[in-house]
A = this chain, B = another copy of it.
Amino acid sequence: MLAHDIDVCQYYGVMRKKIAEIEDCCPVLREPLDPEEASRLADAMRVLADPARLRLLSLIAAGPGGEACVCTLVDPMSLSQPTVSHHLSVLHEAGLLDRERRGRWVYYRVRPERLEPIREALAPPPPVPLSA
């Protein structure tokens, strides 16, 4: 394995860990985030803040049976297969996609529950109590 690959794997390892770690963390408008929480949440949001990755999530969710194969994703994305595969790997390593090999192709499925911690982190503040 080349040094580059090791770097990439370590990067993905960190990313996956950080996405998993924002569960029950980081309610932005409900308590002051400490620097470490803010960093974790920003890392998780950075996985999503990319037009190609958002489109891939969307195309997979809209696929027959809620799944899609890289073989059907390259054409609508207008990107090379290696680039599409790279974005799918980022999403998978971040925990946002399940994948399963069938024959020569890998099929992907969105894990919608993994978006919930991000939605929760952006939830509105608690209502202000009425003064007596």
Contacts and interface: CB of A to CB of B under 8 A. Distances in A.
This protein's copies in its complex: 2
A48 B44 CA distance: 11
A48 B22 CA distance: 15
Chain A interface residue bracket vs B:
35 or more
Contact of A66 (B32, B113, B125): B125
B110 A29 contact: yes
A15 interface: no
A14 interface: no
A96 B29 CA distance: 12
A28 B66 contact: no
B45 A49 contact: yes
Interface of A: 26, 28-33, 35, 38-39, 41-42, 45-46, 48-52, 54-55, 57-59, 61-62, 66, 76, 78, 110, 112-113, 115-116, 118-119, 122-125, 128
